Amino acid sequence: MPDENSKTVPDLFLERVGRTPDDEAFRYPEDGRWVSLSWAEMEARVRAVAGGLHALGVAPEQVCAILSATRIEWVLADYGVLCAGGATSAIYPSSTAEECAFILSDSGAVVAFVDGAEQVAKLASRRAELPALKHVVTFDGAASQDGWVMPFAELVERGRAHDRAHPGSFEETAAAVRPEATATLLYTSGTTGRPKGVELTHHAWVSQSRAVEISGILDHPGAFQFFWLPLAHSFGKMVGTAQLRLGFPTAVDGRIDRIVENLARLRPTFVCAVPRIFEKVHAKILSGVREGGPVKAALFRWALEAGREARRVEREGRRPGPVLAARRALADRLVFQRIRALFGGRLQFFVSGSAPLSPEVAGFFDAMGVAILEGYGLTETSAATHCNRLDAWRVGTVGLPLPGMEARVAEDGEVLVRGPWVMRGYHGLPDQTAEAIDADGWLHTGDVGTMDAQGFLTITDRKKDLIKTSGGKYVAPAELEARIKLACPLASQVLVHGDRRNFVSALVTLDPEAALSWAAGNGLEERDPAALSRLPELHAVLQRGIDRVNAALPRFAAVRKFTVLPAEFTEAAGEVTPSQKLKRRSIEGRYRAELDAMYGEARPPA
């Protein structure tokens, strides 16, 4: 989608600074307090980073990597790279030394920003494989004796000196950036195979930010965002360019253990999150209700039903009648206000992305006045192609296409998208690029879905993840897994299995907190989740939940057997991606013996 003014991310940044120099841009934690930066202060810091990169000899379109948790320095480094004419390659901080080395080598990165000694050690252990990597800049830590590692503060000081010695060079370099140049090189976290570098141009980000503005998704009075997701994910990059376009302030803190505290203290109006967070909060609320006794449980069920009924009427375009309105108001005062207070009390909505959100979980929060606007997209589409919004919202769908994005569903059910923020291609992989983007410019997403007459898209599963039983029946595992987690609050993760098998089975991990609460509530002294996973009583609870799910399924899709594993799937074990998607092939390989035992047969032939 063409834009009359901004053509590149530096354009967006400098135009925002020019429009609202004194407005708050970012807030970040420092020494136990929150520090605020205006847009003018951001410009001064970004200018220093860009100047420092010039002083190090970074040339236009050279790649600089960022290997760090979410923090304000991540943002400064990113905008500094882009305003210096370079391209940013983001690496998840949980990546192994081998994964880091592959991305740095494949991208040809000349500088890497890292957040501390642990990441420096990863890169140092692979230094011989990285001849192009000339400098490592650490946000926390000291310089190395040979100068390969440099503190962020030193880079900033070099940048200020460069800016004084070369007045006007910052503006000249930023203005010289071309819209078609690569702005971001993001490597797919991928559930299978080696990651591919996705080339996203300045034009892609600028076009998408303009589409977000036109859609009005984030447009509300006093908008204030709290952001904690990994900035290495395209979701974070998308929200960042939308912020430049719209100008709302953002509080940045990637510490997962501070999310609840930060929500209450910061009181944001919107937050971007992933379904895993909502699933955990949903389970925790229900656990608290059960522990509160039968009276509290009955009150909660009554309130939830009142909220659901009122929302159903409103979605039909009608106003609740006086009796229903009074019921909802009482339910809000007695129950829902307390739950919304957990999110700070000012929240207008959540935006959910990265993985499918259960319609039941979305409807649960919606009934309580907590809107979760689910969206959809891929790394290959600069994050979002679709998103629900408050004035065009259907629970269970990922919404309408953003303005300028086309979408259709192929005959085999695969979702295809086409638009100005689809990737240019996979870095150095022309054959795989041609496989992904056809001659007419349609990106084949690999996701299976449906689209209604109004254009609302529903994603059912990944095409490659569909299970075909030995009886020739297809089962969508993601949908089934979501149903089981909803019916079984003790479950943390579920992997449905059954490809080329004669029935469907599942691997289940326990939510440690929920399992311990269950044990205490049932008079059990055992407090080890691994030991609890073996208890017949706990299996019986899970079986009842799975039976409820099975009752609504055709026989071929029912989960006939399941195995409870002693620990959750983790990223460190290579079982989930950084965005918490299950690596199915890895999990099935690791737990092949447990899967085979449920079928009483050897591994099926490849």
Contact 345, 365 (CB under 8 A): no
As a whole number of angstroms, the longest Cα–Cα distance in the chain is 76
Residue 401 predicted with pLDDT over 60: yes
Q: What structural domains and CATH numbers belong to the chain?
A: 37-177 (3.40.50.980), 272-463 (3.40.50.12780), 466-599 (3.30.300.30)
- Chain centre distance of CA 184: 17
CA distance 31 to 233: 27
Collapse the DSSP code of 422 into the 3-class scheme (helix H, G, I; strand E, B; otherwise coil) and give the result: coil
Q: Which residue has the tokens 């207008």?
A: 348
Neighbours of 452 (CB within 10 A): 10
Instruction: Tell me the pLDDT tens digit for each residue of 114-171.
Output: 999 999 999 999 999 999 999 999 999 899 999 999 999 999 999 999 999 999 999 9
Contact 186, 90 (CB under 8 A): yes
Q: What are phi and psi of 498, to 5 degrees?
A: 160, 5
Residue 580: pLDDT band with limits 50, 70, 90: confident
DSSP string, 392-407: B--TTS--EEPTT-EE
Contact 1, 210 (CB under 8 A): yes
Question: Which whole number is the average pLDDT over 275-291?
Answer: 85
The pLDDT assigned to 529 comes to 87
Give the number of residues written for the chain.
Answer: 606
CA distance 178 to 60: 10
What's the predicted TM-score (pTM) here? 0.85
Residue 48 predicted with pLDDT over 80: yes
Residue 386 predicted with pLDDT over 60: yes
Q: What percentage of the chain reaches a pLDDT higher than 90?
A: 79
CA distance 540 to 351: 36
Question: Which whole number is the average pLDDT over 252-258?
Answer: 92
Contacts for 45 with CB less than 8 Å, ≥ 6 apart: 37, 76, 80, 156
- Please, what sign has the CA dihedral across residues 341, 345, 348, 352? negative
3-state helix, strand, coil split of the chain in percent (to 5) is 45, 20, 35
What is the Rg, in whole angstroms, of the alpha carbon atoms belonging to the chain? Answer: 25
Residue 605: pLDDT band with limits 50, 70, 90: very low
Residue 592 predicted with pLDDT over 60: yes
Instruction: Tell me the pLDDT tens digit for each residue of 170-219.
Output: 999 999 999 999 999 999 865 456 789 999 999 999 999 999 999 999 98
Beta bridge partners of 507: 495, 563
What is the token pair recorded at 158? Answer: 């070099």
What angle in degrees, to the nearest 10, is found between the helix axes of 72-83 and 9-19? 110
Instruction: Tell me the pLDDT tens digit for each residue of 488-529.
Output: 999 999 999 998 899 999 999 999 988 998 998 888 888 888
What is the token pair recorded at 508? Answer: 């289940």
Neighbours of 167 (CB within 10 A): 8
Contact 77, 234 (CB under 8 A): no
CA distance 467 to 457: 22
What is the token pair recorded at 422? Answer: 């689809």
- Cα distance between the two ends of the chain: 46
Kindly state the DSSP code that residue 553 receives in the 8-state scheme. Answer: S
Q: What are phi and psi of 219, to 5 degrees?
A: -85, 110
Neighbours of 435 (CB within 10 A): 11
- Chain centre distance of CA 201: 21
